[in-house]
């Protein structure tokens, strides 16, 4: 029966991951209903997210390859500038330094790197609190309601602008990264917070969604490495480990089928409708807590 339960969780996670409705909140509510505990920490949730991340890598491999090339190029330019600095100091020369950020893709890559700094700090320091919150049935319900309020306010405020990667600022990338770091708690939608933050910073909806999708990848991988030690916990068996990996594969496969559709919905559907959904599921989650 546990295999059926995990397949259900994998499908729900894959479908909701890139919608502003908190896939983590859905998982915690369903796990409570199915009687699945967190004896292995948040390893199951992280593995399911890893499956969705693999689907993103497969579907957007060309864009990610360009980002990887630009990241390597920036690193090499930084090393080159350091060598020039040392050379100029030793010889008294005044050789010009290479410009680190050039072109749209390199600017996009730089924004992703900047956004990950607060995400890593907040995610690492808040992961234990996130585990405690995942075991409290009331927390996902409250998280859904808070997400709904933020989505509704952003929609009614008609936030958003025309900014793309060229006009984007590094301080706004930092704020978006902070929002992603705060979304470790179940019910608080990572996509919802980062999307609203980007729109409030004046970004256009298409770029805001795209930025949120790509910035999730290093966060998911980082979360996996913080939880991988739970494979050695007393609750983990060889059979359960294989089931977890199978659920990850299911999440990746379902993600390949639905991610483009859900990303398109996040770009075009009015945020108020996601807010109404978050209110509804939040009320249901709170009601189940008192049943």
Is 151 in contact with 196 (CB distance < 8 Å)?
A: yes
Whole-number pLDDT of residue 291: 64
Tokens in use for 65?
Answer: 């390859």
Residue pair 154/167 in contact (Cβ under 8 Å)? The answer is no
d(CA 210, CA 54): 16
Percent of the chain with pLDDT over 70: 97
The dihedral region occupied by 202, where left means phi > 0, alpha psi between -120 and 50, and beta the remainder, is: left
3-state secondary structure of 101: coil
Structure tokens, 238: 């060889």
The percentage of the chain sitting over the pLDDT mark of 90, rounded to a whole number, equals 51
- DSSP codes of every residue in 242-255: HHHHHHHHHHHHHH
Q: What is the pLDDT of residue 288?
A: 81
Q: For residue 39, what pLDDT is reported? A: 63
Residue 90 has pLDDT above 90, yes or no: no
More confident residue, 20 or 236: 20
Q: What is the pLDDT of residue 129?
A: 78
Position 229 scores a pLDDT of: 75
DSSP letter for each residue of 141-184: HHHHHHHHHHHHHHHHTT---SB-TTT--HHHHHHHHHHHHHTT
Q: Report the pLDDT value the prediction gives residue 168, as an integer from 0 to 100.
A: 85
Q: Which residue has the tokens 């509704």?
A: 152
Tell me if residue 194 falls in helix, strand or coil.
helix
Kindly give, in sequence order, each residue whose CB lies less than 8 Å from that of residue 237, ignoring residues fewer than 6 positions away. Answer: none
pLDDT tens per residue across span 53-66:
999 999 999 999 99
Tokens representing 176 are 């978006």
Residue 44 has pLDDT above 90, yes or no: no
Lowest-confidence segment of 17-21, 105-109, 129-133, 283-287 by average pLDDT: 129-133
pLDDT of residue 61: 93
Q: How many residues does the chain have?
A: 291
Q: What is the pLDDT of residues 132-171, one digit of tens each?
A: 777 777 888 999 999 999 999 999 988 877 888 888 889 9
Report the 10 Å Cβ neighbour count for 97: 13
Is pLDDT at 111 greater than 90 in this prediction? yes
Average pLDDT, the chain: 87
pTM comes to 0.88
pLDDT in tens, 223-252: 888 777 777 776 777 788 888 889 999 999
Q: Is 271 or 132 the better-scoring residue by pLDDT?
A: 271
**Whole-number pLDDT of residue 31:** 83
pLDDT of residue 1: 63
Query: Reduced to 3 states, what is the DSSP secondary structure of residue 19?
Result: coil
């Amino acid at each position: 029966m546990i295999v059926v339960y995990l397949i259900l969780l994998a499908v729900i996670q894959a479908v909701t991951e890139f919608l502003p409705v908190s896939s983590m909140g859905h998982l915690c509510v369903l796990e409570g209903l199915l009687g699945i505990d967190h004896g292995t920490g948040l390893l199951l949730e992280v593995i399911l997210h890893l499956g969705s991340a693999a689907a993103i890598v497969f579907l957007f491999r060309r864009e990610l390859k360009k980002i990887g090339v630009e990241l390597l190029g920036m690193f090499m330019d930084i090393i080159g500038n350091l060598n020039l600095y040392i050379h100029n100091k030793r010889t008294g020369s005044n050789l010009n330094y290479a410009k680190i950020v050039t072109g749209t893709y390199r600017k996009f890559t730089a924004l992703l790197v900047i956004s990950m700094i607060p995400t890593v700090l907040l995610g690492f320091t808040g992961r234990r609190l996130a585990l405690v919150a995942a075991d409290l049935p009331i927390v996902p319900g409250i998280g859904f309601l808070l997400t709904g309020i933020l989505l509704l306010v952003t929609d009614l405020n008609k936030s958003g602008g025309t900014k793309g990667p060229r006009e984007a600022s590094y301080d706004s990338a930092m704020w978006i990264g902070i929002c992603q770091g705060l979304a470790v708690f179940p019910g608080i939608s990572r996509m919802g917070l980062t999307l609203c933050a980007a729109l409030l910073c004046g970004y256009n909806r298409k770029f805001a969604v795209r930025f949120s999708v790509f910035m999730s990848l290093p966060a998911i991988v980082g979360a996996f490495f913080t939880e991988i030690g739970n494979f050695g916990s007393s609750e983990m068996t060889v059979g359960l480990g294989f089931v977890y990996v199978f659920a990850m594969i299911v999440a990746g496969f379902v993600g390949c089928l639905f991610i483009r559709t859900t990303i398109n919905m996040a770009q075009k559907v009015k945020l108020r409708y996601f807010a109404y959904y978050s209110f509804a599921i939040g009320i249901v989650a709170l009601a189940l807590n008192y049943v």
